[in-house]
Amino acid sequence: MRRAHLWIFLGLVILAVFAQVGYAQTPVPTPSDDEVNRIAKQLYCPVCENVPLDVCPTQACNEWRELIRQKLIEGLTEEQIKEYFVLHYGDRVLAEPPRRGLNWVVYILPVVVFLIAVIVTVRVLRSMRKPVSASIVSSSSAEIDEEELKRIEEALKQERE
């Protein structure tokens, strides 16, 4: 009786092991073009000039898209596939430069320039609202007296005669 139990137990263990193997070998569905292109869009053709990989028409690009599909089947994540491309073809294949080293300039510089522009604009606008500067002195000289005007006109007339 005991031996029968042992055999049943062993049988169950073997079944469980085979079930696991069967589960592990379940074929991964082939990734669709959309899934491949979602990653390809974030990469650039390593040999063409400024052509995103998802729209690149060359044979080489087609092979790289197939490589993405292959890597997806192998179970690599989007980030891992991008890392694979960077490792093989360099940072230039990335549509967005990685945030490290000198690449930070690309991200920081526009913000710094924008902040400087805001500060300059605010200062210029403030200065436009400021009182007239010290060198300009207002006076009532524009309001020439009527009598004075008559006197000047008389003098001019006499000069002409």
Binding site for other proteins (CB under 8 A): 46-47, 59-60, 63-64, 67, 86-92, 102, 105, 109, 112, 116, 123, 126-127, 130-134, 137-141
Q: Rounded to the nearest whole angstrom, what is the least distance from the CB of residue 115 to other proteins in the complex? A: 10
Q: Is 44 helix (H, G, I), strand (E, B) or coil?
A: strand
Task: Name the residue nearer to other proteins (CB basis): 66 or 96.
Answer: 66
Environment class of 100 (CB within 10 Å of its CB; exposed 0-12, middle 13-18, buried 19+): exposed
The whole-angstrom separation of Cα 125 and Cα 156 is: 47
28 half-sphere exposure, CB direction, 13 A CA radius: 12
Q: Rounded to the nearest whole angstrom, what is the least distance from the CB of residue 130 to other proteins in the complex? A: 6
Task: Name the residue nearer to other proteins (CB basis): 8 or 109.
Answer: 109
Task: Name the residue nearer to other proteins (CB basis): 35 or 67.
Answer: 67
